[in-house]
Amino acid sequence: MTVQSQGSLEARRISSGEACLGSVPPIWVPDAVATHCMNCGVKFSVIKRRHHCRACGKALCSSCCNMKFLLPYMDNKEGRVCQVCCNALLRAQALLEVTENQNNENLTSDFDSVPQDFAPRRCFRRR
């Protein structure tokens, strides 16, 4: 499996942007590259249709990408997301609610494990 330098850069961008999941349009994996589901590895065909997760942009089969989530970058419309993203989005949402409800400094110590670039306030800024 060869990973082009550009590809790994993109991947890093995707992973570091995980906190912004759903807030920014993902980089869609091109159809030409995505011949198999990036989650379960099933081969796409006429019957097995390819779906793009609207949050991470991965190409997935219908059973791996069967969740729906209101995505901020889509004007809070329902977008098709994969199960991984759905979980991540739910976690981010829960974290955001906690941060918003108890917006004080005592809380920061509880989130020591959260990476530096996890910046929900920046990413999920309300209009």
Write out the residues near Zn ion by the rule CB under 5 A. Answer: 37, 39-40, 42, 53, 55-56, 61, 64, 82, 85
Closest CB to Zn ion among residues 42, 70 = 42
Please identify, using beta-carbon distances, which residue of 24 and 107 lies nearer to Zn ion: 24
Report the residue number, 43 or 127, with the smaller CB distance to Zn ion: 43
Closest CB 25 distance from Zn ion, rounded Å: 13
User: Concatenated DSSP letters for 33-81?
Assistant: T-SB-TTT-PBP-SSS-EEE-TTT--EEETTTS-EEEEEGGGTTEEEEE
Distance of closest approach, residue 107 Cβ to Zn ion, in angstroms: 28
Listed in sequence order, the residues at least 6 apart from 61 whose beta carbon sits closer than 8 Å to its beta carbon are 37, 39, 40, 42, 44, 48, 49, 50, 51
Q: Min. distance of Cβ 93 from Zn ion in angstroms?
A: 15
Q: Which is nearer to Zn ion, 36 or 98 (CB)?
A: 36
Burial class (CB in 10 A: 0-12, 13-18, 19+), 69: buried
Least distance from Zn ion to the Cβ atom of residue 91, Å: 13
Three-state secondary-structure class, residue 73: helix
Q: Are 77 and 70 in contact (CB under 8 A)?
A: yes
